[in-house]
Structure 1
Amino acid sequence: MGKKSDLSNFERGMVVSQYAQLLGFSRTTISRVYKEWCEKGKTSSMRKSCGRKCLVDARGQRRMGRLIQADRRATLTEITTRYNRGMQQSICEATTRTTL
């Protein structure tokens, strides 16, 4: 049995096009991911490690839950003020709204 040769550029383009249609991604995305896999062995994106870190961790979420259970009619401003009393790093109302 002889060795099989690599795909020609045309055949590689056809494979990429078929996968793009099958998966619903653009051909550029498929090509880029394949290239990174071949060169670096990279199989996942690093998007989860980018961006700003959450100000309210799991402990803070539990605390906020207790504040809400204590006074269910509290406004967003009141909840934020009560949350910030015992914490070193204060949060704004938008962060409170997102956490809720």
Structure 2
Amino acid sequence: MGKKSDLSEFDRGLVVGARRAGLSVSAVANLLGYSRTTVSRVFREWSEKRVVSSARQSCGRKCLVDDRGQRRLDRLIQGDREATVAELTARYNDGQQKTISERTTRRTLKRLGYSKTPLGAPPNPPSDPGQSAETTASSGSTQPEPTPRTDAPKVDHKRKDKGWQV
């Protein structure tokens, strides 16, 4: 049997309100369509803590890079689009109490919508349309030699993480 999703704050309020109005646990369960265990648990939590919200939203690991950190990382990229992940991480960690790893930097950049491919560069350069299949077969290679494009920006392939683009 699978786990059902949490009750919203509104549904929790309905349970508490119905119980406070004098309905029994079984009557509230039948009326709202929840199990008696759920109704009694929600009402017990409310009567002990006077809170109807679920604590489930606060579980899990906290993000190391919050909204402010994301804006800071975005400004670092805008300042130097040619920076590598290692350089961005070092600049981000400079003066920070909580440092982050390069992996966290990559994950945050991906969440922000950045990629490593330069803007306008095709993933695979197109083959020369004037080159025939016989020319390719006679040269012995299975792939045609890519021709340099004059309209494409220059890409420096010496650095791995060159050029962050949105």
- For the superposition of Structure 1 and Structure 2, which TM-score range results when normalised by the shorter chain? 0.5 to 0.7
Residue pairs, 1:37-52, within 5 angstroms:
37-52=46-61
Q: Residues 45 and 51 of structure 2 are in contact (CA less than 8 Å); yes or no, is this contact kept in structure 1?
A: yes
One-letter amino acid matched to 2:89: N
Q: Which runs of 4+ in 1 moved over 6 A?
A: none
1:82 is matched with which residue? Answer: 87
SS at match of 1:84: helix
Normalised to the residue count of structure 1, the TM-score between the two structures is 0.56
User: Matches of residues 31-70 of structure 1 in structure 2 within 5 Å?
Assistant: 31-70=40-79
Structure 2 counterpart of 1:29, one-letter code: T
- In structure 2, C-alpha distance between the alignment counterparts of 1:29 and 1:94, rounded to whole Å: 38
Specify every segment of 5 or more residues in structure 2 that has no aligned partner in the other structure, as ranges. 1-21, 114-166
Task: Give percent identity, aligned residues only.
Answer: 42
In the other structure, the counterpart of 2:28 is 15
Distance in 1 between residues matched to 2:45 and 2:65, nearest whole Å = 34
Q: Is the 8 A contact 2:76 2:88 kept in 1?
A: yes
Distance 1:95 1:43 in 2: 33
After TM superposition, the score normalised by the length of structure 2 is 0.38
Amino acid at match of 1:59: R
- Between Structure 1 and Structure 2, which shows a larger proportion of helix residues? 1
In structure 2, the CA distance between the partners of 1:58 and 1:12, relative to structure 1 (3 Å rule), is closer
Instruction: Indicate if the aligned counterparts of 2:25 and 2:39 stay in contact, CA closer than 8 A.
Output: no
Question: How many residues are treated as equivalent by the alignment?
Answer: 82
Consecutive unaligned residues of structure 1, counting only runs of 5 or more, are 1-5, 21-25
Q: Tell me which residue corresponds to 1:97.
A: 110
**Aligned counterparts of 2:54 and 2:27: Cα–Cα separation in 1:** 25
Conservation of the 8 A alpha-carbon contact between 1:67 and 1:82? no
Higher RCO (CA < 8 A, seq sep 6+): 2
Q: Quote the RMSD (CA, aligned, Å).
A: 3.0
